[in-house]
Amino acid sequence: MTGGLALAIAVASVGHISGAHLNPAVTLGLAVNKRFPWAYAPGYVLAQFAGATAAAAVTWGLYGDQARSIADLGGTAPAAGVTAGRVLAAEAVVTLVLVLVVVSVATDTRVPRGIAAMAIGAALAVAIVISGPVSGAGINPARAIGPMILAGQFSDSWACLTAPPAGGVAAVALYDRFLRPAARLPSDDARS
């Protein structure tokens, strides 16, 4: 719940300023599908990784060395015995759903303005519940790698760097090619 609420707060408070791109999977998904300028993408991604690493440093400072030695500063790791394929699948699928919600509610003018923050936060909370027991709920490459850098624990970091962006790119493509064009259903014409 905390992750979802934190994201909802961030989207509500800075979404109108920066688009609240906290996740490289969102930025890259939009850029690959020509919905975000490529010229801005490197700066956004760099800021996302810097922010996540700074957040891990704050966690270390607030909770001390045990936060690093016992909890890896919140870095993600798959459950024991989970195969790499399952980690990749879990990360890609939940990120696809999260980014699909983001692109649906935050970029489509047909959606009422006030719904975006809570819908995106709820989608993240659900993604964490679903993927946490499998992959450790990376979902966001920056959020996953930032703590890994300071904790010095890089368990399956490659999966955190590859699966979420793939899910993000697929989500935006799915929305743009199939869901957005479905704005008018045949039943809408019958009611006119």
Query: What average pLDDT does the segment 109-127 reach?
Result: 91
pLDDT, residue 3, reads 86
Taking the C-alpha atoms of residue 116 and residue 105, their distance in angstroms, rounded to an integer, is 5
| CB hemisphere CA count around 90 (13 angstroms) | 26
Most confident of 24-28, 83-87, 106-110: 24-28
pLDDT confidence bin for 117, thresholds 50/70/90: very high
DSSP state at residue 140: S
Structure token digits, residue 110: 């047909």
Nearest in space to 153 (alpha carbons), one of 140, 144, 163: 144
The pTM of the full predicted model, rounded to 2 decimals, is: 0.88
pLDDT, residue 1, reads 83
Query: Which fold, 2-13+26-181?
Result: Glycerol uptake facilitator protein (1.20.1080)
DSSP state at residue 40: T
pLDDT, residue 183, reads 59
pLDDT in tens, 152-190: 888 778 888 999 999 999 999 999 999 888 755 555 555
Average pLDDT, the chain: 90
Structure token digits, residue 97: 């759903």
Would you state the torsion angle of the CA atoms of residues 85, 146, 102, 45, taken in this order, to the nearest 10 degrees?
A: -110
Query: What does the domain layout of the chain look like in residue ranges?
Result: 2-13+26-181
